[in-house]
Amino acid sequence: MKPSISVRRAVPADGPAYVALVRALADFEELPAPDDAAAARLVADAFANPPRYELWVGELDGEIVAYAVTFPTYSTFRARPTLFLEDLFVHPRGRRAGVATAVLARLRDEAAQRGCGRFEWFVLDWNVDAQALYARIGAVEQPAWRLWRVDLPD
C-alpha cells in the first residue's frame, strides 16, 4: 500500500513534534540542540502574530516526520520576491518515502502562487543525498556564491 504523504502549514499543536525534529536535525548535523529556552522561542516565533517565519510540516501516514522553515526575501535583479528555505529536515523513519520531494514541490508551488522569481536554499557540502535529490527535482547549484556570516552574541 502506498504511504499517505501530506504537507501543510504548521499549527501550534505541532510545536512539540517540530522541536523534536529540530533536535533530531542537530544530532544529524552533529551540532548542539536547542535548549528548552531556545525551543520555546522557536515555537513562539513560528506562531507569533505576525510569525517571524513560516513553518511547514510533512506527514507520513498521519505522523509528522518532516519540517521546513521558510521566509520571504527579495531579489533586486529579478524585481520579485524569493521564497527562501532555511531548513528542510526529514526524520530517518520518513526518508526515501517521497516526503522531502513532496515538501519541496509544495514549497515550489507556494513560491509560484506568491509571484516569486526564485525558490532557493543552501545545502551542506557533505550532504550528497540531499544534493542528489535537489538535482533530481531540477534545482541548480550556484557555485559562485559563498555564504558569509557574522554571529551575534545571544
Our measurement of the distance from residue 66's CA atom to the centroid of its chain's CA atoms, rounded to an integer in Å, reads 8
* CB-neighbour burial class of residue 34 (10 A; exposed 0-12, middle 13-18, buried 19+): middle
Cell of 135: 538535482
Give, to the nearest 10 degrees, the angle between helix 15-28 and helix 36-46.
120
Which among 18, 67, 74, 134 is annotated as catalytic?
Answer: 134
How far apart, in whole angstroms, are the C-alpha atoms of residue 33 and residue 62? 25
**134 is known as an active-site residue:** yes
**Does residue 30 contact residue 50 with C-beta atoms inside 8 Å?**
no
Residue listed under C-alpha cell 509571484: 115
Q: C-alpha cell of 51?
A: 510569525
Place of cell 530517518: 92
User: What are the catalytic residues?
Assistant: 134
